[in-house]
Amino acid sequence: MIEPRVPALPRPMAQRKDESTGRRTPHFLCRGVVALLMLAVFELLAGCMSGPAPRAAIAYTGDPIVDGNAELAAAPPKDRVLWDDRIAATALRVGNFDEAKTKLDDAILQVGGIINNTADAAKARSLFHPEETKTFIGEPYERVMDYYYRAILYWRDGQPDNARACYRTGQLIDSDAETHEYQSDYVLLDYLDGLASAKLGEDSSDALARAQALTKRRLPPYNPDANVLVFAEYGQGPRKYAGGEYGEQLRFYTEPSRIHSARLIVDDRRIPLPPYDDLNFQATTRGGRVMDYILGNKAVFKRTTNTVGDVALIGAAAAANNGSRDSDRAAVGLAAIGLISKIASAATTPQADVRTWDNLPQYLSFAALKLSPGEHPVRLEFLTRDGEVASELTRELTINVSPDASTNNVVFLSELTR
Amino acid sequence: MNIIHRFFVLSSFTATTAAFFAGCANQGVQNPSGVPVTQMNADEQGFVAGTGVESQDLVTVTDKMARSILGTPAIASATTPPRIVIDPVENATRFPINKDLFSDRIRIMLNSKSAGRVVFLARDRMKTLERERELKQTGQVTSSYDPTPVAFKGADYFLTGKLEGLTTKTSAGTSDYILYSFQLIDARTSEIVWEDSAEIKKQGLEDAAYR
């Protein structure tokens, strides 16, 4: 943020005779009153912008789930979903599916509702509170991932219809994009919606057609007999930062992933895991938010009051140097306007909310395959953009396929470790 | 003191102006506070509300279905209480839900209100029941009856249902319509002997801070 240059205040003037009383006006008193007024305004604004309560110290253990829960316990309620999200992603990666389910259900309770008439949201829209005052539910790409991850757990629990419900809500959340081209454009959400329908014995052709229309990559046809569902993810997802003169613009930092694809080698078969969806793309193609408009107005107010303050203080300085009685009065008035404008400008907080679900992946992938019941040793390989195997990331795993033909054996694979 | 007086007047004016302009950040945004979720034919809703399936819908729908089933001739005119097996409800909406809540509450309502006119079979407990029968048959546990013949009852009817939804989302808000349909199917003939439905529509618009 660029700090405005504040012009010098009028130099202290010598005492002058007041015509009405015949007494000399004590100018040091004027200065004292100005100082007191400024102090009072600062106190008032400080009260409006009281900072967060001091956070309890956290004794980190090195266990990401334990530490995440400690962070969640110490976090203000407005950040609860943020920590739920982070812990859930970590829990999925370490195979703690019960923990992931608990956290995602808690997050979806907030994310899935319609939030209105809440005090923190109203504050976030006001001039003197930053956007991050509001309860975090994330940007659309973050909310979509709540549902995407929860759907994986529904598949594990043998509830493809609830998984499908998650995909449908995810696609609806993504319909917020400003440009039609980028609305509801997650390939996997439509593709997996159709897979769930196929598993339920219903028509899935429409969902498959929608998914195919969203990608140039040829999507594999559904195999209702597939009993192993592989969900893979790789690369680092988007991060938020604040841009613009006053940090009023929400922007995304995206770093192209070194890993551009993956594959699973099982029973001498190579199962490709291409990048069907890119969260960096999703984050950066949403377009403008209504909140951006509000933050823009806040920035305009901040800039205008700052300019008014500058002009008034310069005018006060000029008037004070004039030497006449009327000029003195004008100088005091302009100084008051200038000071209050500067204070109002300083107190205005147009900063965009940059709280980020910071352990999301960049790419999402999926494959469905049919394997015989029993244990299957598999090798997971991640490939660079050039098609080279990133050998340091290669993993040897075992997939245990249930003898129950109706069971969907879910395998979750992530390049990210926490 | 005249200057000080004017100073205060000007200060007050400026402060009032600043307070007035404080509302400018929301200028041009329609419904900055959002519109509360409006629910048709509902009892009460909490602070965190959505347009999806909520507890009040569950109560409304299952109450209606239980009353309706008891009035159907297949149940009301049966000489012996028909045996019913509940097939899990299918969720075809966009809202992930605990589907068992619907079938469980209908079963509870029917059992408590029907005075024995219907009997439900615990098919969802078959593994436990089969294990118990096996223990009795092999003499590992005592039995007050002969465990050899098959005594598990077959179903006369299957009770099942489906939730389907239709969603509209525009800049004016989100609207969700959900159709709850339930059927009683004759296990012998596959005839649908009873069917009823309930429909609920909700709409709302979130706070501008989330748009």
Within 8 A of A134 by CB-CB distance, chain B residues are 207, 209-210
Residues 125-164 of B with CB under 8 A from A: none
Query: Closest Cα to residue A234, out of A170, A280, A169?
Result: A280
Maximal CA-CA distance, chain A = 106
Structure token digits, residue B138: 């092999």
Does domain B2-210 bear CATH number 3.30.43.10?
no
Q: CA gyration radius for chain A?
A: 29
Q: State whether residue A110 sits within 8 Å of chain B by CB.
A: yes
A321-326 mean pLDDT? 80
Q: Is the pLDDT score of B28 beyond 60?
A: no
Strand-pairing partners, residue B166, are B177
Q: State whether residue B39 sits within 8 Å of chain A by CB.
A: no
Residue A294 to residue B33, Cβ atoms within 8 A: no
Burial code (b: 16+ CB inside 10 Å, e: under 16) for B37-59 equals bbbeebeebeeebbbbbbebbbe
Q: State whether residue A154 sits within 8 Å of chain B by CB.
A: yes
- HSE-up of residue B194 (Cα within 13 Å, Cβ side): 20
Q: Can you tell me the ipTM of this complex?
A: 0.75
Residue A25: per-residue pLDDT: 47
Summarize pLDDT for A372-392 with one digit per residue, the tens.
999 999 999 999 999 999 999
The domain limits of chain A are 64-291+353-414
Q: Is the pLDDT score of A40 beyond 70?
A: no
Who's near A151: CB < 8 A, 6+ residues apart? A162, A163, A164, A166, A167, A170, A192, B96
Residue A128 to residue B14, Cβ atoms within 8 A: no
Please tell me the distance in Å from A341's CA to the nearest CA on chain B.
8
Q: State whether residue B101 sits within 8 Å of chain A by CB.
A: no
The domain limits of chain B are 2-210
Within 8 A of A104 by CB-CB distance, chain B residues are none
Nearest to A112 among B50, B209, B211 (CB): B50
Residue A297 to residue B24, Cβ atoms within 8 A: yes
A78-105 mean pLDDT? 96
A210-214, A270-274, B37-41: segment of lowest average pLDDT: B37-41
Q: Is the pLDDT score of B194 beyond 60?
A: yes
Within 8 A of B93 by CB-CB distance, chain A residues are 165, 168
A33-43 mean pLDDT? 51
Average pLDDT, chain A: 87
Strand-pairing partners, residue B163, are B91, B180
Residues 281-300 of A with CB under 8 A from B: 289-291, 293-295, 297-298, 300
Nearest to B7 among A121, A122, A336 (CB): A336
Residue B134: per-residue pLDDT: 92
Within 8 A of A328 by CB-CB distance, chain B residues are 3
Percentage of chain B exceeding pLDDT 90: 45
Residue B140: per-residue pLDDT: 94
CA torsion A205→A210→A215→A218, rounded to 10°? 10
Residue B42: per-residue pLDDT: 41
What phi, psi does A190 have (nearest 5°)? -70, -40
Summarize pLDDT for A113-133 with one digit per residue, the tens.
888 878 888 888 989 999 999
Between CA B56 and CA B200 the distance in angstroms is 11
Residue A405: per-residue pLDDT: 85
Residue whose tokens read 């500058």:
A310
Q: How far is CA A100 from the centre of its chain?
A: 19
Residues 161-180 of A with CB under 8 A from B: 161-166, 168-169, 172, 175-176
B176-202 mean pLDDT? 95
Residue A291 to residue B210, Cβ atoms within 8 A: yes
Question: CA angle at residue A295 from A87 to A287, to 5 degrees?
Answer: 70
Within 8 A of B34 by CB-CB distance, chain A residues are 114-117, 121
Question: CA angle at residue A10 from A27 to A33, to 5 degrees?
Answer: 40
Query: Closest Cα to residue A409, out of A157, A148, A229?
Result: A229
Between CA B73 and CA B61 the distance in angstroms is 21
β-strand pairing of A395-401 with B83-86: unpaired
Q: Is the pLDDT score of B53 beyond 80?
A: yes
Residue A361: per-residue pLDDT: 97
Residue B33 to residue A117, Cβ atoms within 8 A: yes
Percentage of chain A exceeding pLDDT 70: 87
Residue B28 to residue A110, Cβ atoms within 8 A: no
Q: Is the pLDDT score of A319 beyond 80?
A: yes
Residues 158-197 of B with CB under 8 A from A: 167, 169, 174
Please tell me the distance in Å from A237's CA to the nearest CA on chain B.
21
Query: Closest Cα to residue A267, out of A367, A365, A368, A375?
Result: A375
What phi, psi does B170 have (nearest 5°)? -135, -175
Residues 50-89 of B with CB under 8 A from A: 50-52
